[in-house]
Amino acid sequence: MLVNARVPLKVILSGEHAVLRGYPCVAMACDLHVSSTAKTGSGYISPTLYHGTQAVELTQCMRRAIEVLADEVWNRFHKRLNMLVESVIIHVPENTLGRGLGSSASILVSLIAVYFVLMAKVAGSEMPRLDDIIMMATRAEHEIHGRSSGIDVRTVTYGGFVVLNSSVKRLPKDILTKLGIKLVILDSMQPKSTKKAITTASSHRNYESILANIGKVTTLLINELLMEEGSTSRIHAFIKENQSYLAELGLMTPELIRTLETLSFCRSSKIIGAGLGGFCIGLYEGETYPGDMQAMGPRKINTSNGLEVSIDSIRIDLV
């Protein structure tokens, strides 16, 4: 039996770093996906990771995170998992590991899903709930980043737009489309380190006040997105303001600056993720972006559904 879990990656529109202090954050699941495929058999072996078409070694912290979640699943099902899973293969899109797209969250969610669903189908246990998957993946993610707000895990599991630390929990999936705003994403070609970025930001003498300002801007952005006739000018202004605070925290690099310059055709643009590397995102309006940008690599992205699981090509909807 084969079980496949398909999980989107994500981009944060506003709220990076401030979310760790309990301020609002809004993120979007995008149409780039991680997939994990598990095969039943005997003799559990560690998952194999493919980054694009290239097999790569799991980092030490990712191996530890996988061990944590595997142990929890094994203990919950009386260690029967190691008798059911023969192999797990994880596929991550090329150039997306360590780029601020939430790949670690997507990997963990996809693994937990295939483990749980195998147990449900083979051992007769209950099908998993999304809340269980989110809880376990968030705990495992602590092993990678040291601390986690849960925004990555929730966004890639639920899909669409997810809001954290706000009375608003979700935004309509087509909210930007209705406003005529399109998104494009571009890799700075520089890997990022979340732990290093957090250390850099937290060393700023005005760290707490800057985070409070990011929280205020994020709240204004969420409220504007919720308005039936929201102002695209204000939305772009909030995105720019959020970016200026991230830059003030010392999270920019020459590579990120050049990437934002490439996105100058957009009305607003910003880094995504923790900073010091990774992808940048641009928001623009109109039918297409300039033709000469096509050769430079920006990719148009759309919102995506969350976790999808299939067993031998039969779709299973989790509850």
**pLDDT tens readout for residues 38-51:** 887 766 667 889 99
| Pair 183, 247 in one domain | yes
| Pair 22, 142 in one domain | yes
Which residue numbers in the chain have pLDDT < 70? 42-45, 74-83, 145-147, 288-297, 319
| Pair 62, 123 in one domain | yes
| Pair 178, 135 in one domain | no
| Pair 42, 6 in one domain | yes
| Pair 12, 140 in one domain | yes
Q: What is the pLDDT of residue 21?
A: 93
| Pair 126, 176 in one domain | no
Q: What is the pLDDT of residue 293?
A: 57
User: Which range of residues forms the domain containing residue 281?
Assistant: 172-300
| Pair 128, 187 in one domain | no
Q: How many CA atoms lie within 13 A of 204 on its CB side?
A: 19
Domain count, the chain: 2
The letter for the amino acid at 147 is R
CATH number at residue 119: 3.30.230.10
What is the rounded distance in angstroms from the CA atom of residue 64 to the CA atom of residue 58? 10
Predicted TM-score (pTM) of this structure:
0.91
| Pair 155, 176 in one domain | no
Question: Which residues does 20 contact at the CB level (< 8 Å), separation at least 6?
Answer: 147, 149, 198
CATH number at residue 264: 3.30.70.890
